Amino acid sequence: MKTPAQRNSGLKKDLLDVAAISRTEVASLLTLAARLKEKQRRGIPHPLLQGKTLGLLFEKPSTRTRVSFEAGMNQLGGHALVLPIGDIQLSRGESVPDTARVLSRYLDGLVIRTYDHATVQEWAREATMSVINGLTDLSHPCQALSDLLTIQEKKGRLKGLKIAYIGDGNNVANSLIEAAAKMGMTIALGCPAGYQPDQHVVDLARLEAEKTGAVIELGHDPLIAAKEADVIYTDVWISMGREREQARRLKVLAPYQVNHRLVSRAKSDAIVMHCLPAHRGEEITADVLDGPQSVILDQAENRLHMQKAILTKLLGKRRTGTR
């Protein structure tokens, strides 16, 4: 059985998960994202994708992913086209292969936000355009890559730093594990039993960690995970599609709230991250989320700059309908 990295080797056509790209490619994206961010802040035009068109196909609601990709594509001189799932023939039974092949004749790339990770993999197999995972139930690679950019900005480095991820071991946790393994970081997870990250993701990341010196620690105690951390990270307890589990999740995850007591276990200069949207009073308290250690707005902004880097790398040398 092929690993994700073997199925999608390198940042050549698609971006489906962080595990599929090399450490060198991650570092290159970080450098390019920082450069594009500086150009924007200085008001320097950077129309690197003139004449390119990006489709945005979302089966789940989105704020940051949709707006940052659409704005980013426009800033790069290209055009972004939103494709609501209910407005195209997929909603009436047209197959993914047929849709992917046709859209590949119109578009240079497609961002997909869906439920089953196998869906985005099918799109990548069938399309000749670039396919970017804008979020699945398994992974959220664009979020994790932009989080690396934020951490590097705030701390000046990545290797050797410790991220403490507290709460539900969801798609964001999976991608953060992959990212930490690539860049030689320590990631300690405090998640309740039954809410831990995907074991296959962890196993593959530990193989990567053997090469980079990264450390991946799984545990159930949030206070242990947070000890001496450089970064405290959390996410919502009730992800999209999990609404029916709300009552049980709120009860099980209540001891995993990121609050002042938990943050005090980390280093004094630790930063607090949350990929948003946030539910103040649930996974994180308002005083922490809005406090001096929080970098959530910089973190959200960096989605724009990293995604511009991803688009530039994937679409910059591609022609519609070609491999």
Catalytic residues: 113, 140, 143, 235, 275, 303
Residue 85: CB partners within 8 Å, gap ≥ 6?
57, 58, 59, 91
Q: Which of 147, 115, 149 is nearest to 133 (CA)?
A: 115
Distances from the Cα of 120 to the Cαs of 10, 87, 295, in angstroms? Answer: 16, 19, 30
Sign of CA dihedral 4, 135, 170, 126: negative
Q: How far is CA 58 from the centre of its chain?
A: 15
Distance of alpha carbon 250 from alpha carbon 241, whole angstroms: 15
Distance of alpha carbon 93 from alpha carbon 89, whole angstroms: 7
Which burial class, exposed, middle or buried, applies to 202 when counting CB atoms under 10 A from its CB (0-12, 13-18, 19+)?
buried
Per-residue burial over 145-172, b if 16 or more Cβ lie within 10 Å, else e, is bbbbbbbbbbeeebeebbbbbbbbbbbb
Distance of alpha carbon 28 from alpha carbon 174, whole angstroms: 22
